[in-house]
Amino acid sequence: MRLDILAEIDGKEKINIEMQNKNEYNIVNRNDGYASGIYYNSLQIGDKYLNGTKTVVIWILGYNCFKDGNYHEIIKQRREYNNEVFSPNITTHIFQLPRFIENVEEIKTEEEQWLAYLSGNLNKEEMEELFKMNRSIEEINKIVDIVMTDQDVMDELNNRILAQQLENLKMQRAHENGEKESAIKIAKKLLEKGNTISEIADITGLEETEIMELKD
């Protein structure tokens, strides 16, 4: 597993924050893996299960994963008989940015302020108003501006994006035999980075003759 952000609060809670724009239809499986893995790994050898660290997984999504409901969904394990919470140890929060944009007309709470910023849906004037409401967001935005103009940071970011695209391509190949269009895009990027024809063929599944044509 590769977590986006893993934080610990006062040694009492572990918070995993995941941000995802594209619906890859695997959020349930990934959430189960992240949450159970974090909780289990919080135990030391010989620990009692009562000593496990409370785990919270937060998803910030660029798509709506539910057809109905609120933009902020809270999910816990519950008994079917009376809807009573079975386990307080693992909680999932799902924030759906498109539904947030559709349903929230006036930004009031701190939660709404941060989601408005993360949505990338505000114009310059609205951003200035948001900064007046929440100076912490303004400070974060200054850092983001600096980071996004740092070439070393951008190179690292592009490498991570490419790595994620390669991982996605492998998953697509396993389930659907891959999509040629995605393979070609990745092959072009790998060519730019200086990978050999045989390496690219091995990674993308394209024929070496097809990759040679891209090179020309």
The pLDDT averaged over each successive group of 10 residues in the chain (216 residues) is 82 92 90 93 80 93 95 95 94 97 95 96 94 95 87 83 78 63 85 87 84 81
Task: Report if residue 108 sits inside a domain.
Answer: no
Task: Report if residue 145 sits inside a domain.
Answer: no
What's the CA gap between 122 and 96, in Å, rounded?
16
Look-up: residue for tokens 């785990």? 55
pLDDT at 177: 55
Task: Report if residue 129 sits inside a domain.
Answer: no
Task: Report if residue 110 sits inside a domain.
Answer: no
Task: Report if residue 168 sits inside a domain.
Answer: yes
pLDDT at 150: 87
Q: Do 83 and 161 lie in a common domain? A: no
Which of these, 164, 157, 211, 206, lies nearest to 188 by C-alpha position? Answer: 211
The token pair at 129 is 């108003």
Among 75, 103, 131, the domain-final residue is: 103
Kindly report the CATH number assigned to the domain that includes residue 165.
Answer: 1.10.10
Inter-residue contact 34 to 63 (CB < 8 Å): no
pLDDT at 134: 96
What's the CA gap between 122 and 172, in Å, rounded?
34
pLDDT at 73: 97
pLDDT at 178: 52
Distance (Å) of CA 193 to CA 109, 188, 190, 199, 212: 45, 9, 5, 12, 15
Tell me the pairing of strands 13-20 and 5-9.
Answer: antiparallel
Number of domains in the chain: 2
SS3 for 154-194 is HHHHHHHHHHHHHHHHHHHHHHHCCCHHHHHHHHHHHHHCC
Reported pTM: 0.70
pLDDT at 141: 94
Structural domain that includes position 202:
151-215
What's the CA gap between 119 and 38, in Å, rounded?
27
Look-up: residue for tokens 């559709």? 102
